[in-house]
A and B are shown apart, each in its own frame.
Chain A
């Protein structure tokens, strides 16, 4: 895993499909691509079978563009819709049994550190709300309590989308779904609070109708996970199929949900702030000069 894998094997160049050639010659590897340059470089993500207009797809697309070093990143996923796209990127993808993604990522991230020492290899888990808050719950929480250094991203569509609409712990109370016809009986789980209690160094919520913010939180989460500890991003990524959202209204829905229960929040531990400031030049986390502190008297 390095820039070495993003190249043609000797003699094979002319046999490779156009998409592959574009990826090698004009892909994001070894450069710093940004969301504002979208539409002008070949993305690591390829075609995939996720539904038309799916906000989860948009989020995954943005996340992959935001990875600070895509050539040194491994994604980990599990059963659910997201893996259908995440697996179709020119970035190694590991897929295990449903719910074991944070266990797999713990081993992977430790193994990579043994093998590559200080050279950063980023591990990023992306899994559904069912995979993260229900089926994978204990592995997720344990990886956080153990301060495993990788990023966990919950693709929260508030339903089991891939299997036709069962309620998850992240579904809202009262929501009626195709396979939860009586309405959900208990509240949406507060995974953000749990992430903080478990000691995550970075916890953020985000919606895909703000692409630059998605880019910014992904970058911070991945960088912090290199050295400081576990990081968690909870993204609202609606399922237009199970919630019957017309596809041209998906961003309008995201805005409504953002105002209702997905306002942008960001927690950065003191250690993580210092790390981002010192190591990566994040000015907003530099200690404030004494003169700038308003005089309370």
Chain B
């Protein structure tokens, strides 16, 4: 098994900083959804990870902890994630994206 980044929506959706999206070395991997936090009753949207593209470098963890000071991202074994975003289930809108979460193991 291997590690991928995992965003804590509760923390992220109270911040709206979007900083990690500018630092992941991989394209279209850290995505932002204006709905994801609000749907769960939080103030803002949330960042989330397209786990099929994440290479597990943890650079985003450093950005969220040390630059943004929000500590919202942790590295998690991919089979320990109950549900995650996968490229196939991400839809682009005009200014935001939405993701239908699915099992990272079986899609």
Known: A52-B57, A248-B61, A251-B59. A26 touches B27 (CB 8 A): no
Contact: B92 with A252, CB < 8 Å?
no
CA distance A212 to B27 in the complex (A): 16
CB distance from B59 to the nearest CB of A (A): 5
The 0/1 profile, CB within 8 Å of A marked 1, for residues 60-98 of chain B is: 011100110000000000000000000110001101110
Contact: B53 with A47, CB < 8 Å?
yes
CA distance A248 to B59 in the complex (A): 4
B62's closest neighbor in chain A, by CB?
Answer: A248
CB distance from B3 to the nearest CB of A (A): 10
A41's closest neighbor in chain B, by CB?
Answer: B92
Residues of A within 8 A of B61 (CB): 248
Contact: B18 with A39, CB < 8 Å?
yes
B47 interface hit (Cβ, 8 Å): yes
B11 interface hit (Cβ, 8 Å): no
Cβ < 8 Å to A, chain B residues 18-57: 18, 21-28, 30-32, 47, 53, 55-57
Chain A interface main SS type: helix
Cβ < 8 Å to B, chain A residues 1-25: 18-19, 22, 25
Give the tally of cross-chain contacts (CB within 8 A).
Answer: 85
Contact: B25 with A53, CB < 8 Å?
yes
B58 interface hit (Cβ, 8 Å): yes
Known: A18-B88, A252-B66. A52 touches B95 (CB 8 A): no
CA distance A46 to B27 in the complex (A): 6
Contact: B62 with A52, CB < 8 Å?
no
Contact: B95 with A37, CB < 8 Å?
yes
A214's closest neighbor in chain B, by CB?
Answer: B22
For chain B, the count of residues having a C-beta within 8 Å of the partner chain is 31
Contact: B23 with A211, CB < 8 Å?
yes
B61's closest neighbor in chain A, by CB?
Answer: A248
A286 interface hit (Cβ, 8 Å): no
CA distance A26 to B93 in the complex (A): 8
CB distance from B84 to the nearest CB of A (A): 16
CA distance A19 to B53 in the complex (A): 12
Contact: B28 with A42, CB < 8 Å?
yes
A209's closest neighbor in chain B, by CB?
Answer: B23
**Which of A54-62, A69-77, A117-125 is near enough to bind chain B?**
A54-62
Residues of A within 8 A of B63 (CB): 251
CA distance A247 to B53 in the complex (A): 16
Known: A53-B59, A247-B58. A58 touches B32 (CB 8 A): no
Residues of B within 8 A of A247 (CB): 57-59
Known: A39-B21, A39-B32, A46-B27. A248 touches B57 (CB 8 A): yes
CA distance A118 to B26 in the complex (A): 35
Contact: A248 with B58, CB < 8 Å?
yes
CA distance A283 to B93 in the complex (A): 33
Contact: A53 with B23, CB < 8 Å?
no
Ordered nearest first, which 5 A-B pairs have the shortest CB separation? A53-B57, A39-B21, A26-B92, A52-B55, A39-B32
Extra inter-chain contacts (19) besides given A41-B92, A47-B53, CB under 8 Å = A18-B87, A26-B93, A37-B95, A38-B18, A39-B97, A40-B95, A43-B28, A47-B26, A47-B27, A52-B55, A52-B57, A53-B59, A54-B25, A248-B59, A248-B61, A250-B59, A250-B62, A251-B59, A251-B67
